Every structure is written in structure tokens, then in C-alpha cells.
């Protein structure tokens, strides 16, 4: 453990803070976190946190979700400008317009969205819960926002429902091409291809497994296979190499790096704890509306 990591641990106890880190954070941050997980696991941890402060090492929408689910806590985001390109693609007004076009449809919102957009939705979902939630909704028609690729994946798994999509996407996952899958397979013929449902459907179709980051990690852990081509952010490849050294993981494309997720450094986490920055503060109306959508998601697991 480095001296900065030791300082963070000491300060965390002194300030009664809980540190949560997403799988896409750098390994030195993951090492000092109390919990490392995907956005759903982090939301659940935040909801039941006993500490007075939650430091969310991830991007803004994750810290917003922590605040919405546990409003009495101080929630801090170490990198103030760590946003999400997908979340920024959709506005509350666009959600209202879609609802007006399809008044009998439920609005299902991927958690990679702002609090204001969640507040206009009926229920949230994560990539690990989206299929289950879509199946269990009483409505036969679903407006899926904002990720068109996760939406297409859910629609393929839930053919009994009718879906309407918003054309949002994650630039990191959406940029991967079927050609890159073929090239990676050629370079590593014994490897299985595991991709995130934020990848395009034609990439998903060429994969051996499609799942959330947590599901990909579970798959690698439990598979008798030794080699894997990973079609999600580089942090998952680094985590496999660190925690499962007996397995070989190759990144599907060198471009799969989310710069927003890498904005916070270990020094930023120390600064954040020391000075109590950057605190998440949301308007009451947004908090209330978004809480309904998020709490419904958490209760449906």
C-alpha cells in the first residue's frame, strides 16, 4: 500500500466515510475502496450506508444516485467534472416528448442518466437488471432511454413487449465494430468473447456472452476456459488480471477507455476526503421524482 493510500484509509476512519468505487476506476482507487462494484451494487451499498459520508469514486450520475437513495448522507465526488457522455445525451424535455407520443408506455430509464431524467421516468434499471425489470412491468409497451444498444438487447430478450428507443449511446462501447471482434478472435482463437450490452447489437451477435460488468466478471470466474476477449471498459481487464491471474484477458479494442471514469486520481480521493469536496446537492423536486424510479428498481431485485 502506498503512503497516499494509507492516508486515505486513516482519514476515512476519522471522518466516518464509506468509499465506493466502480469497476472502471483505476486499480489504486479500487484497492482502498470499501466496496467495488457495478452501478447497481454501488447504489445498493449507498442506500444502506451507515457512515455519515459516502465518497463515490465513479461518475456524477452514480454519486447522484447515492444521494437520492440516502439523502441524509453527505455524498462526495472526487472529480467534479466526471460526467457521462451517454447521460448528457438526453434531457427531461425529450423524455416528456416521448411520453406524450406513447402515453400508454412505461418509461424505463437506464441508471446512466441525470437525476432530472430519472425524475421523469417510471422505473430505473441497470444493465444487470434491465431484462428482468422489462419482463415484470405490467405495461406491454416500453420507452427505453437513453441507451439504444442496451435497449435493443433488452428487446431481443423480451420479444413479448413493444419497445420505443431513444438514440443515445456510450461512445466507448458504441464505437466497437464487428470487424474488431473478428480481428480479436483471429489473434486469440481460444478466447471467448464477452461483451457489454452497451455495444452495438451486431457486436453482441458475434459474442459468446453478453452481460453487465459484474456478469462478465462472474462468467470469467466460473468458466473452465482460460482466455477471454473483453468488450467493455479497460478497468474490467485490469481487474481480471489482478484478481484472477490464472486467466488471460484481452481488451477487445484499445479505444475502450472511459476518460470520465479516469478523471479521479488517488490524489483526488485524498483531497476530496480532506476538504469535503465535491458535495452532491440536488433540487428537492428532482430528488423526490428520481427516488421513486430508483427505489422501484432496487425493490425489484
Which one, 24 or 278, has the nearer CB to ligand SF4? 24
260 forms part of the interface with ligand SF4 (CB under 6 A): yes
CA distances from 110 to 45, 136, 285 (A): 18, 16, 20
Nearest approach in angstroms of CB 51 to ligand SF4 is: 24
> Which positions from 65 through 84 interact with ligand SF4, judged by CB under 6 A?
84
Binding mask 31-60 for ligand SF4 (x = CB under 6 A): ----------------------------x-
145 forms part of the interface with ligand SF4 (CB under 6 A): no
Nearest approach in angstroms of CB 220 to ligand SF4 is: 19
Please list, residue by residue across 68-100, b when 16 or more beta carbons sit within 10 angstroms of its beta carbon and e when fewer do: bbbeebbbbbbbeebebbbbebbebebbeebbe
Kind and range of the H or E run holding 31: helix 27-32
Nearest approach in angstroms of CB 235 to ligand SF4 is: 9
> DSSP secondary structure string, 88-144?
GG--HHHHHHHHHHSTTSEEEEESSS-HHHHHTSSEEE-TTTHHHHHHH-S-SEEEE
Q: Give the integer Cα–Cα distance in Å for 60 and 76.
A: 10
258 forms part of the interface with ligand SF4 (CB under 6 A): yes
> Which positions from 161 through 180 interact with ligand SF4, judged by CB under 6 A?
170, 172
Per CB under 6 A, the list member of 51, 85, 223, 225 interacting with ligand SF4 is: 85
261 forms part of the interface with ligand SF4 (CB under 6 A): yes
Nearest approach in angstroms of CB 172 to ligand SF4 is: 5
Which one, 116 or 170, has the nearer CB to ligand SF4? 170
Nearest approach in angstroms of CB 16 to ligand SF4 is: 28
Residue that has been written with the C-alpha cell 488471460 in this structure: 248
Nearest approach in angstroms of CB 170 to ligand SF4 is: 3
Structural contact between residues 297 and 129, judged by C-beta atoms closer than 8 angstroms: yes
Q: Give the integer Cα–Cα distance in Å for 100 and 104.
A: 9
Per CB under 6 A, the list member of 19, 29, 86, 107 interacting with ligand SF4 is: 86
CA 99 to chain centre: 25
Which one, 53 or 260, has the nearer CB to ligand SF4? 260
Of the candidates 5, 46, 86, 59, the residue with the CA atom closest to the CA atom of residue 264:
59
Structural contact between residues 267 and 93, judged by C-beta atoms closer than 8 angstroms: no
Which one, 137 or 230, has the nearer CB to ligand SF4? 230
Nearest approach in angstroms of CB 246 to ligand SF4 is: 27
265 forms part of the interface with ligand SF4 (CB under 6 A): no
> Which positions from 227 through 256 interact with ligand SF4, judged by CB under 6 A?
233
Bridge partners, residue 143, by sequence:
107, 164
Edge-to-edge strand ranges of the sheet holding 162-165:
123-125, 106-110, 141-145, 162-165
89 forms part of the interface with ligand SF4 (CB under 6 A): no
> Which positions from 107 through 136 interact with ligand SF4, judged by CB under 6 A?
112
Task: Tell me which residues touch ligand SF4 (CB under 6 A).
Answer: 59, 84-86, 112, 170, 172, 233, 258, 260-261
Amino acid at each position: 500500500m502506498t503512503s497516499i493510500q494509507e492516508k486515505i484509509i486513516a482519514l476515512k476512519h476519522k471522518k466516518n466515510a464509506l468509499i465506493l468505487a466502480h469497476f472502471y476506476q483505476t486499480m489504486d482507487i479500487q484497492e482502498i475502496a470499501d466496496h467495488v462494484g457495478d452501478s447497481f451494487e454501488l447504489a445498493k451499498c449507498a442506500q444502506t450506508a451507515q457512515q455519515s459520508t459516502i465518497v463515490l469514486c465513479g461518475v456524477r450520475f452514480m454519486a447522484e444516485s447515492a444521494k437520492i437513495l440516502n439523502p441524509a448522507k453527505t455524498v462526495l465526488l472526487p472529480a467534479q467534472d466526471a460526467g457521462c457522455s451517454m447521460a448528457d445525451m438526453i434531457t427531461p424535455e425529450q423524455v416528456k416528448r416521448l411520453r406524450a407520443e406513447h402515453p400508454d408506455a412505461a418509461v424505463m430509464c437506464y441508471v446512466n442518466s441525470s437525476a432530472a431524467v430519472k425524475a421523469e421516468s417510471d422505473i430505473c434499471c441497470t444493465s444487470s437488471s434491465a431484462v428482468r425489470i422489462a419482463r415484470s412491468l405490467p405495461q406491454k409497451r416500453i420507452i427505453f432511454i437513453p441507451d439504444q444498444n442496451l435497449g435493443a438487447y433488452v428487446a431481443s430478450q423480451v420479444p413479448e413487449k413493444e419497445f420505443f428507443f431513444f438514440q443515445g449511446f456510450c461512445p466507448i462501447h458504441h464505437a466497437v465494430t464487428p470487424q474488431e471482434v473478428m480481428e480479436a478472435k483471429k489473434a486469440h482463437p481460444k478466447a471467448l468473447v464477452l461483451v457489454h450490452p452497451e455495444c452495438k447489437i451486431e457486436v453482441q451477435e458475434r459474442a459468446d456472452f453478453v452481460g453487465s460488468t459484474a456478469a462478465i466478471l462472474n462468467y470469467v470466474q466460473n468458466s473452465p476456459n482460460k482466455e477471454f476477449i473483453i468488450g467493455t471498459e479497460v478497468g474490467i481487464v485490469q481487474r481480471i488480471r489482478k484478481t484472477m491471474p490464472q486467466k488471460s484477458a484481452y481488451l477487445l479494442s484499445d479505444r475502450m477507455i472511459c476518460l470520465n471514469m479516469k478523471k479521479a486520481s488517488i490524489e483526488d480521493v485524498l483531497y476530496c476526503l480532506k476538504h469535503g469536496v465535491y458535495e452532491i446537492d440536488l433540487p428537492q423536486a428532482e430528488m423526490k421524482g428520481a427516488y421513486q424510479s430508483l427505489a422501484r428498481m432496487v425493490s425489484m431485485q
